[in-house]
Structure 1
Amino acid sequence: MTLVDTHAHIYDAQFADDQTDMLQRAEAQQISQIWMPNCANETISGMMALADQYPDRCLPMMGLHPAYVTDTVEEELAVVQDQLNRRAFMAVGEIGLDFYWDMTFVDQQFMAFETQLRWAAEQKLPVSMHTRSGHDRNAFAEAADLIEKLALPELTGIFHCFVGTLDEAHRAISMGFKLGIGGVSTFKNGGIDKVLPHIGLEHLVLETDAPYLAPVPYRGKRNEPAYLRLIAQRIADIKEVGIDDVARHTTANALSLLPALYANLLPG
Structure 2
Amino acid sequence: MILTDTHTHLYSESFDEDRDQMIQRALDLGIKRFFIPAIDSTYNQGMFDLKQRYPEYVHLMTGLHPTHVKENYDQELEVVKNLLKQGSFVAVGEIGIDLYWDKTFLKQQQFAFREQIKLAKQYQLPIVIHCRDAFDEVFEILEEEKGKDLFGIFHCFTGTFEQAKLAISYQMKLGIGGVSTFKNGKIDQFLDQIEISNIVLETDSPYLAPVPYRGKRNESAYLIEVAARLAALYQIPIEQVAQITTDNSKQVFGV
TM-score (norm: length of structure 2): 0.98
Say if 2:187 is the partner of 1:192.
yes
Q: Deviations over 1:210-240 (max 9, x none)?
A: 0000001100100000000100001111222
Of residues 171, 179, 183, the one that matches 2:178 is: 183
Cα distance in 1 for residues equivalent to 2:237 and 2:136 = 33
Cα distance in 2 for residues equivalent to 1:63 and 1:238 = 33
Deviation at 1:141, TM superposition (A): 2.6
Deviation at 1:150, TM superposition (A): 2.1
Matches within 5 A, 1:1-150: 1-133=1-133, 139-150=134-145
The answer to whether the 8 A contact 1:118-1:152 is kept is no
Of residues 182, 200, 205, the one that matches 1:205 is: 200
Moved more, 148-157 or 47-56: 148-157
Cα distance in 2 for residues equivalent to 1:103 and 1:131 = 13
CA RMSD of superposed structures (Å)? 0.9
Deviation at 1:140, TM superposition (A): 2.1
Deviation at 1:32, TM superposition (A): 1.4
Cα distance in 2 for residues equivalent to 1:226 and 1:36 = 15
The equivalent of 1:266 in structure 2 is: none
Cα distance in 2 for residues equivalent to 1:87 and 1:165 = 36
The answer to whether the 8 A contact 1:41-1:76 is kept is yes
The equivalent of 2:167 in structure 1 is: 172
Say if 2:253 is the partner of 1:258.
yes
Say if 2:229 is the partner of 1:238.
no
The equivalent of 1:265 in structure 2 is: none
Cα distance in 2 for residues equivalent to 1:236 and 1:104 = 41
TM-score (norm: length of structure 1): 0.93
The answer to whether the 8 A contact 1:121-1:152 is kept is no
Cα distance in 2 for residues equivalent to 1:150 and 1:160 = 18
Percent of matched pairs sharing the same residue: 47
The answer to whether the 8 A contact 1:38-1:44 is kept is yes
The answer to whether the 8 A contact 2:146-2:170 is kept is no
The answer to whether the 8 A contact 1:127-1:158 is kept is yes
Q: Deviations over 1:179-228 (max 9, x none)?
A: 00000111110001112021111000000000000001100100000000
Cα distance in 1 for residues equivalent to 2:60 and 2:188 = 30
Please state whether the residue corresponding to 1:4 is helix, strand or coil: strand
Which blocks of at least 5 consecutive residues in structure 1 are unaligned?
Answer: 134-138, 263-268
Q: One-letter code of the match for 1:13?
A: E
Q: One-letter code of the match for 2:46?
A: G
The answer to whether the 8 A contact 2:5-2:203 is kept is yes
Q: Deviations over 1:19-69 (max 9, x none)?
A: 110111010010111100000011111011101221221111000000001
Say if 2:213 is the partner of 1:218.
yes
Cα distance in 1 for residues equivalent to 2:53 and 2:172 = 30
The answer to whether the 8 A contact 1:121-1:153 is kept is no
Q: One-letter code of the match for 1:210?
A: S
Say if 2:157 is the partner of 1:157.
no
The answer to whether the 8 A contact 2:181-2:211 is kept is yes
Please state whether the residue corresponding to 1:85 is helix, strand or coil: helix
The answer to whether the 8 A contact 1:132-1:140 is kept is yes
Deviation at 1:152, TM superposition (A): 4.4
Cα distance in 1 for residues equivalent to 2:152 and 2:219 = 22
Please state whether the residue corresponding to 2:20 is helix, strand or coil: helix
